């Protein structure tokens, strides 16, 4: 398929804004961008009086190596959020096309659609008691029906899914890609891939032009404050997204940090830390599953756990009283009694577990006296 057949017709050959750095000109004296000739007194020597490269070559090369993809399939953005926004604007015309989401799921897919006045089609995840399941058959049926109404142009697969923690097997992603054929893009959001046992959907990209994969340095690489994500897609689609992106999306200090964070040694450390989080996830899940008042601890392939409580409000307030902040999920579809708890350090996790420890007379002392394994 030609991926440009899915792009808004008015953007297929759109050149975008021709910024001063986009021209690729070389020189010694820069008088083409209306910049200050003097560095700011606050500049630590990074040349911040000059605009940065729109897509820094050194970082693009390193990220392509990290993810095992060609450089022309990669666009760097301000977090994955910007990639989601660019995809929505590039494919969906207001009121004429839709995105499909599978609640409960990351809210930015629907937010970006609403800002673009695109429709949102929902196919809820299936709650199986111990995990949430992405219903591929239901999604494909819904996509077929959408052709007669408002066609779905973007299908979001959050894997591992936020907030549920479930990951979609590669075979199921392949079935989705085959099922939508040339009708829609399948966008696999792998923000938490480093914590998962499932192989990356990037393995499928050479075979499917309608596959987009989102990655980020915010989680396992510990750069949430630097805001750097990556959209990986067919080169023709990357060119369209680049044309509609802001002229200078990446701040120079963030790029410098990112280059250090994805060096070979730092990437190895990120993998080691992800392994520690996975081990802690198992320990914490085991302790929480035995806590009175915890009705369910869902299986997770990410760095968080989704829990249902007999009294979620009491649990939330107990945690806050102990200075522990977790994510309240009770406004999400099907999660009226649920909280999402990130996996922190051993000490942070122990503080969270202590705040949720039973307080009923006769059992509190016994429960609190149980040692918390630090395996």
Work out the percent of the chain whose per-residue pLDDT is above 70: 95
pLDDT at 371 over 50: no
Please name the helix (run of DSSP H) or strand (run of DSSP E) that holds residue 76, with its range, or none.
strand 74-77
| DSSP one-letter code for 358 | -
| pLDDT recorded at residue 150 | 85
In sequence order, what E strands does 139-277 have? 152-158, 185-189, 211-216, 229-232
pLDDT over 70 (residue 167): yes
pLDDT over 90, % of the chain: 86
Q: For the chain, how far is it from start to end, CA to CA, in angstroms?
A: 49
Q: How confident is the model at residue 180 (pLDDT cuts 50, 70, 90)?
A: very high
What is the predicted pLDDT for the residue at 374? 34
Q: 39 pLDDT band (50/70/90 cuts)?
A: very high
- Please compute the mean of the pLDDT values over residues 209-215 and round it to a whole number: 97
Identify the CA nearest to 87 among candidates 53, 68, 115. Answer: 115
The DSSP bridge partners found for residue 351 are none
Instruction: Give the side-chain half-sphere CA count within 13 A for 28.
Output: 0
The two tokens of residue 327 are: 């994510």
- Mean pLDDT computed over every residue of the chain: 92
Domains, the chain, ordered by start: 3-262 (3.40.640.10), 266-369 (3.90.1150.10)
pLDDT of residue 370: 42
Mapped onto helix, strand or coil, the DSSP state of residue 206 is helix
Q: 222 near 194, Cβ under 8 Å? A: no
What digits encode the pLDDT tens for the residues 280-306? Answer: 999 999 999 999 999 999 999 999 999
- Determine the pLDDT at residue 342: 98
Q: Report how far residue 161's alpha carbon sits from residue 138's, in angstroms, rounded to the nearest whole number.
A: 17
| 69: phi then psi, degrees, rounded to nearest 5 | -130, 160
Q: Look at residue 325 and give its three-state secondary structure.
A: coil
Three-class DSSP category at 307:
strand
Residue 78's H or E segment, with its range, is: none
């Amino acid at each position: 398929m030609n991926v440009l057949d899915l792009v808004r017709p008015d953007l297929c050959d759109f050149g975008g804004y021709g910024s001063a750095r986009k021209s690729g000109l070389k020189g010694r004296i820069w008088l083409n961008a209306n910049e200050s000739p003097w560095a700011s007194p606050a500049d630590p020597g990074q040349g911040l009086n000059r605009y940065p490269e729109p897509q820094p070559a050194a970082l693009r090369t390193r990220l392509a190596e990290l993810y095992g993809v060609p450089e022309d399939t990669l666009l760097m953005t301000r977090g994955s959020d910007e990639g989601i926004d660019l995809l929505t604007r590039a494919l969906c015309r207001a009121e004429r096309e839709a995105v499909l989401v599978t609640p409960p799921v990351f809210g930015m897919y629907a937010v970006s659609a609403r800002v673009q006045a695109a429709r949102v089609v929902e196919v809820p995840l299936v709650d199986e008691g111990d995990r949430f399941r992405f219903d591929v058959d239901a999604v494909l049926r819904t996509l077929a029906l959408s052709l007669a109404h408002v066609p779905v142009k973007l299908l979001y697969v959050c894997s591992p899914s936020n907030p549920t923690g479930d990951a979609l097997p590669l075979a199921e992603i392949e079935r989705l890609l085959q099922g939508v054929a040339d009708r829609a893009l399948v966008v696999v959001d792998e923000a938490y891939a480093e914590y998962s046992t499932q192989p990356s959907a990037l393995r499928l990209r050479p075979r499917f032009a309608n596959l987009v994969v989102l990655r980020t340095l915010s989680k396992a690489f510990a750069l949430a404050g630097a805001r750097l994500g990556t959209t990986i897609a067919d080169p023709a689609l990357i060119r369209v997204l680049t044309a509609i992106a802001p002229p200078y999306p990446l701040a120079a200090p963030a790029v410098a940090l990112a280059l250090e964070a994805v060096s070979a040694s730092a990437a190895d450390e990120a993998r080691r830390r992800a392994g520690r989080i996975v081990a802690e996830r198992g320990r914490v899940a085991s302790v929480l599953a035995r806590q009175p008042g915890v009705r369910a601890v869902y299986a997770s392939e990410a760095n968080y756990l989704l829990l249902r409580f007999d009294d979620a409000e009491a649990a939330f307030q107990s945690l806050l009283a102990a200075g522990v902040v977790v994510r309240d999920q009770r406004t999400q579809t099907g999660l009226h009694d649920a909280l999402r708890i990130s996996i922190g350090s051993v000490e942070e996790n122990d503080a969270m577990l202590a705040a949720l420890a039973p307080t009923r007379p006769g059992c509190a002392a016994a429960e609190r006296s149980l040692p918390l394994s630090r395996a």
